Amino acid sequence: MHLAGGYSSEGMNTAVSLGDEDEDDEWEDVEDVSGGEEGNGVRWVRPKRGRRSVSGRREGRRVARAATARKERVWDFGVIPYEIDANFSGAHKALFKQAMRHWENHTCVKFVERGVDHPNYILFTERPCGCCSFVGKRGNGAQAISIGKNCDKFGIVVHELGHVVGFWHEHTRPDRDNHVQIVRENIMAGESSRTIP
């Protein structure tokens, strides 16, 4: 299962289930955030420890990262083809392109307009989840990057593109507790299980 948090159209932080994973996935369930409803598939996930290294050997002390390591989830040659739904205004299209340029200026990824030779690509659209995206490349044609109502802000678009590139939220890193201290008393009532695994 892929999970990417984001902001709903009401501006609230959300956790969104975005699809099923292979049985031998690199991610493990951490906590059910479904509010007790069995089978809705909304769960926090984090990388499993002790996966295979590049050489194929199991390593119990692999360095934990906040990005996907699955080769099939990495965009070919760092190139991410995109298409923008015709329903977006010119201002929205300019905002999306500005956010893509931001990633290009700070990383080795490149966004290109989708051509006939790009079977896998991202599609800027609006879905009920508000602002959400798959993590990494799905590999089955178009994959939505939803920029909903009240999500059309530069920082939010950059954030969702980070999921497209392959990044997960920092607070879900398996080594998080080595770097930050979660003060659960400071978390709003009822929010802890939704936002902090």
Nearest C-alpha neighbor of 60 from the set 51, 68, 69 = 51
User: Would you call 160 a catalytic residue per the annotation?
Assistant: yes
Helices (H), the chain: 90-106, 154-165, 192-195
Find the length of the chain. 197
**Contact indicator for 17, 1 with CB cutoff of 8 Å:** yes
Regarding pTM above 0.75, the answer is: no
Strand partners, 15: 5
| CA separation for the pair 48, 126 (Å, rounded) | 32
Between strands 27-32 and 43-47, the pairing is: antiparallel
**Contact indicator for 156, 7 with CB cutoff of 8 Å:** yes
183: amino acid identity, one letter: V
Of the listed 26, 160, 170, 191, which one is catalytic?
160
Q: Annotated binding residue at 163?
A: yes
Q: Annotated binding residue at 159?
A: yes
Q: Annotated binding residue at 92?
A: no
Q: What is the pLDDT along the chain (197 residues), one digit of tens a residue?
A: 333 444 333 433 333 333 333 333 333 333 333 333 333 333 333 444 444 333 344 445 555 557 787 889 999 999 999 999 999 999 999 999 999 999 999 999 999 999 999 999 999 999 998 899 999 999 989 999 999 999 999 999 999 999 999 998 877 777 788 887 888 888 888 766 556 66
